[in-house]
Amino acid sequence: MIAGLLLCTTLGAQARKKDIPVYRDASRPVEERVEDLLARMTLEEKVMQLNQYTLGRNDNANNMADPVNDLPAELGSVIYFSMSAELRNYVQKRVMERSRLGIPMVFGHDVIHGFRTVYPISLAQACSWNPELVRQAAEVAAQESRMSGVDWTFSPMIDVARDPRWGRVSEGYGEDPYANAVFCAATVKGYQGDDLADGRRMAACLKHFAGYGASEAGRDYVYTEISRQTLWDTYLPPYQAGIEAGAVTVMSCFNNISGTPGSADPYLLTEVLKKRWAHDGFVVSDWGAIEQLRAQGVAADKKQAADRAFNAGLDMDMMNRCYDAHLADLVREGVVPQERLDDAVRRVLRLKFRLGLFENPYTPESSEEERFLLPGSLRIAEQLAEETMVLLKNEGVLPLREAKKIAVIGPIAKERWHLLGAWASKGRTEEVESVFMGLEKEFGERAELLYARGCDFDGEDRAGFAEALAAATAADVTVLCLGEKRNWSGENASRSTIALPEIQQRLAEVVSKSGKPVVLVLSSGRPLDVSRLEPLSDAIVQMWQPGIRGGRPLAGILAGRINPSGRLAITFPRSTGQIPIYYCRRPSARPHQGKYQELSSEPLYEFGYGLSYTTYDYGELKAETASIERGKKLTVTIPVTNSGAMDGAETVLWYVSDPVCRIARPVKELKHFEKRMLRSGETHTFSFEIDPERDLSFVDGDGNRFLEAGDYYVIVKDRKLKLTLAE
């Protein structure tokens, strides 16, 4: 009976399926559905799929445009600034009902380090050296976003950045290509999972392809000078890793690279991305990047800009109004080949099918309580904040086990909004835990907290200095909380100096007159020049911009409940004048000369630096054999002992160097890292399985890999081990 019923149902379904077009049949493979739909589309319908407008008022102050309230029925995508499923559904329904073929729109939004549960900025996340935790944070971000009507995020940003004057260093994973690659892959996996059609995942977008982090002198949107060699060995590896991790879209960059703007570069967009890396997703322009080709001097008007960008391989126009206005004419005139148009449309449709939008164009409505700030999401926020903070200095004052009176001073002390960092999406000030709140919870009755703001972030007003000095003098220790406003980082937020404004320096000087120990807590979106603050501080903790749950982890570190484990993913220069300064520089012709006359040429805190409350002893670095063969892996090991009294998590960073090569390689390159908890007294042998083709080889200026015979070194801390690769 049941079998009979089932048969009838199946036959009925098949009969019905015959009546529906192939593209509407979810049982057919995506590629068949794409081809079927494409074949039904008119030129104008195809062109509209390649445009993205905004819906409502933009929340990015740098991108001004009139709000669009009536969307064309065939539009491909919108940037969605709301978090209401109802509004999304209303808009989606209108578009689908009014369009001839009923193609759903894809809704994008900048979800950079969390949606409503705001996590630490990406630069801080890299300092955790914990990609699994970063993946989990991205997973939460995806869930909150998708449940709020966002299908697609413009993230991760994986622009290797070595100039902290550039405001966007906060959005990426620091100065190292490998670290960017690892955190990129983790984030993509967190956003996308295994199935984009799962209503809790969203599409990722690798940005800004490529080399945006090389902006001259840290000025945003400007020219970048990048040789093909550096493009391949420094700027492209994170993108390749992101594509390998399955990222379904890519955003082109604003910057001009050595004469060719990235948004009109066929080499990057087509040759490398689509041909060599076989990326089958699409490229969206950065906001306005197509029409800005005029300002960059390579297009006379919007039509020519559309031609340059589209023929280079840029598929979707984000708020340029170039493709909607000119692409159809360019196709009719034969300037844009029909195959190129079809290729771009295919890519956009593919994403929509993969996201399951044809089957589920609408977002199920849910309450905010069901979506946001769930206990598990907050636990990840707290854990991630804890692991991102870096102890930069400790002259024995930390942890604060004995303090009975703690002065909490400075513009960051009770700050909430600025702890969110740039691109905080739907983060809310009232949901942020300040440093002061964290200290109150942590210390409870154990210590009395005295508060004085002291001064503002900038300006001249010293009226609060006396109160600050009085608080510091009355206390056993001062926690001095200095730093940056959140809008000093992010897009269009370059600074000519990475030192804090003079007023904050002066406050530190006043507080130090108390004669009491000073613990400096820094919140910023970039490495800071703390050369003048460092001598005034007995301890320094870099807390970054930790998102909504930084207060308690910071307080836990100060109190000694938490052993700090963050390590810098970007160098802290001694002064702005040292920039660019990064660990994997190419060797100098005269290593012992060429230093600054008046300043050390070494950074204040190097890449990978970070202190702990325990000590780790590194044993002998060993390999199974001293020689390594092509096509064969070799394991190298190092035992590490937690020789102190406190449990802690240690990150072992594995570098490789190739001192003689036909292309001068960096002095050392990070190839692997592992973070692991070590109980007091515990020894663990860390290992790295070297794959010579992957870890010892090198690219040339056209992306060809080669592996030369000769000597290589594996480097861990101050240990070095020679390995020889035979012919």
Q: How far is the CB of 502 from ligand BGC (least distance, A)?
A: 31
Residue 179 token pair: 């670290």
CA distances from 111 to 108, 162, 424 (A): 9, 23, 8
Among 154, 173, 436, 443, binds ligand BGC (CB under 6 A): 154
Kindly state the smallest distance separating residue 423's Cβ from ligand BGC, in Å.
8
Of 95, 240, 89, 90, the C-alpha closest to 151 is 89
Q: Which is nearer to ligand BGC, 62 or 625 (CB)?
A: 62
Phi and psi, residue 206, nearest 5°:
-80, 130
- Based on CB atoms, which residue is closest to ligand BGC, 289 or 403? 289
Dmax of the chain from CA atoms?
A: 92
Give min distance, CB of 209 to ligand BGC, in A.
11
Residue 63 or 229: the one with the smaller Cβ distance to ligand BGC is 63
**Least Cβ distance, residue 688 to ligand BGC (angstroms):** 34
Q: Tell which one of 25, 63, 87, 428 touches ligand BGC (CB under 6 A).
A: 63
Give 405's strand partners: 448
Interstrand relation of 539-542 and 518-523 (parallel, antiparallel or unpaired):
parallel
Nearest to 610 by CA among 554, 566, 572: 566
* CA–CA gap between residue 114 and residue 111 (Å, rounded): 6
- The CB-of-62 to ligand BGC minimum distance in angstroms stands at 6
Q: Which two tokens stand for residue 119?
A: 């996590």
Complex with ligand BGC: residue 315 or 491, whichever CB lies closer = 491
Query: Hey, which residues between 472 and 531 contact ligand BGC (CB under 6 A)?
Result: 491
Long-range contact pairs involving 462-467 (C-beta distance under 8 Å, separation at least 24): 462/503, 462/506, 465/506, 465/507, 465/510
Q: How far is the CB of 288 from ligand BGC (least distance, A)?
A: 7
b/e map 688-717, b = 16+ CB within 10 Å: bebebeebbbbbeeebeeebeeeebebbbe
Nearest approach, Cβ of residue 154 and ligand BGC (Å): 3
Per the CB < 8 A criterion, the answer to whether 152 and 108 are in contact is yes
Q: Among residues 216 and 629, whose Cβ is nearest to ligand BGC?
A: 216
State the CB neighbour count (10 A cutoff) for residue 178.
Answer: 22
By CB under 6 A, tell whether 159 contacts ligand BGC. no
Nearest distance in Å: CB 60, ligand BGC:
5
Sorted by sequence, the CB contacts under 8 Å of residue 537 that are 6+ apart come out as 393, 480, 508, 518, 519, 520
Helix (H) or strand (E) run with residue 79 in it: strand 77-80
* CA separation for the pair 217, 64 (Å, rounded): 25
- Residue 12 CB-half CA count within 13 A: 6
For position 641 contacting ligand BGC by CB under 6 A, the verdict is no
By CB under 6 A, tell whether 220 contacts ligand BGC. Answer: no
d(C-alpha 419, C-alpha 474), whole Å: 28
Instruction: Note whether 317 binds ligand BGC by CB under 6 A.
Output: no
CB of 649 to ligand BGC, least distance (A): 32
d(CA 58, CA 550): 28
List, as one string, the DSSP characters of 213-259: GG-GGG-TT--B---HHHIIIIISHHHHHHHHTT--EEEE-S-EETT
Which range binds ligand BGC by CB under 6 A, 60-68, 238-246, 372-380, 523-531?
A: 60-68
List the one residue from 17, 26, 60, 470 that touches ligand BGC (CB under 6 A): 60
SS3 96: helix
- Residue whose CB is less far from ligand BGC, 422 or 628: 422
User: Applying CB under 6 A, does 82 fall inside the site for ligand BGC?
Assistant: no
Active site residue 286: yes
> What secondary structure letter does DSSP report for 413?
T
Nearer to ligand BGC, 119 or 154 (CB): 154
| The binder of ligand BGC chosen from 287, 488, 544, 607 (CB under 6 A) | 287
Nearer to ligand BGC, 171 or 387 (CB): 171
Q: CA 506 → CA 119, 409, 489, distances in Å? A: 31, 13, 23
Structure tokens at 54: 């905004």
Residue 110 as a binder of ligand BGC (CB under 6 A): the answer is yes
Of 205 and 649, nearer to ligand BGC (C-beta) is: 205
Q: Closest by alpha carbon to 207, among 232, 173, 167, 163? A: 173
Shortest Å distance, C-beta 184 to ligand BGC: 15
246 to 285: interface string for ligand BGC, x by CB under 6 A: ----------------------------------------
Residues 193-212 close enough to bind ligand BGC by CB under 6 A:
207
What is the arrangement of strands in the sheet containing 669-678, beginning at the earlier edge strand?
627-628, 719-725, 710-716, 648-657, 669-678
| Spatial separation of the C-alpha atoms in residues 353 and 335, rounded to whole Å | 29
* Nearer Cβ to ligand BGC (62/685): 62
Quick check: 211 and 166 in contact, CB under 8 A? Answer: no
Which tokens go with 363?
A: 């977002």
Give the interface segment with ligand BGC, choosing from 56-64, 344-352, 404-412, 530-538 (CB under 6 A). Answer: 56-64
Does 62 help bind ligand BGC (rule: CB under 6 A)?
Answer: yes
CB atoms within 10 A of CB 506: 15
Query: Is residue 324 part of the contact set for ligand BGC (CB under 6 A)?
Result: no
Nearer to ligand BGC, 152 or 572 (CB): 152
Q: Kindly name the residue from 286, 315, 529, 695 that is annotated as catalytic.
A: 286
Q: Which stretch binds ligand BGC (CB under 6 A): 9-17, 59-67, 403-411, 689-697?
A: 59-67
For residue 605, the SS3 value is: strand
We find the least distance from the C-beta atom of residue 286 to ligand BGC, in angstroms, to be 5
Containing 505, the helix (H) or strand (E) segment is helix 502-512
What's the closest the beta carbon of residue 287 comes to ligand BGC, in angstroms?
4
Binding span for ligand BGC by CB under 6 A among 32-40, 55-63, 179-187, 398-406: 55-63
Size of the site for ligand BGC (CB under 6 A): 9
Residue linked to tokens 């909430």: 416
Please identify, using beta-carbon distances, which residue of 62 and 627 lies nearer to ligand BGC. 62
> Cα separation of 685 and 701, whole Å?
37
Question: Per rule CB under 6 A, is residue 465 in the interface with ligand BGC?
Answer: no
Q: Using CB under 6 A, which residues numbered 602 to 621 contact ligand BGC?
A: none
d(CA 577, CA 534): 18
Binding segment for ligand BGC (CB under 6 A), chosen from 17-25, 57-65, 141-149, 343-351, is 57-65
- Residue 286 binds to ligand BGC (criterion: CB under 6 A): yes
Distance in Å, CB of 682 to ligand BGC, minimum: 43
Q: If binding is defined by CB under 6 A, does position 387 make contact with ligand BGC?
A: no
> For ligand BGC, which residue has the nearest CB?
154
Instruction: Give the residue carrying structure tokens 């600050």.
Output: 468
Token pair 């096509």: residue: 631
Task: Give the nearer residue to ligand BGC in terms of CB position, either 115 or 154.
Answer: 154
Active-site residue set = 286
Site residues for ligand BGC per CB under 6 A:
60, 62-63, 110, 154, 207, 286-287, 491
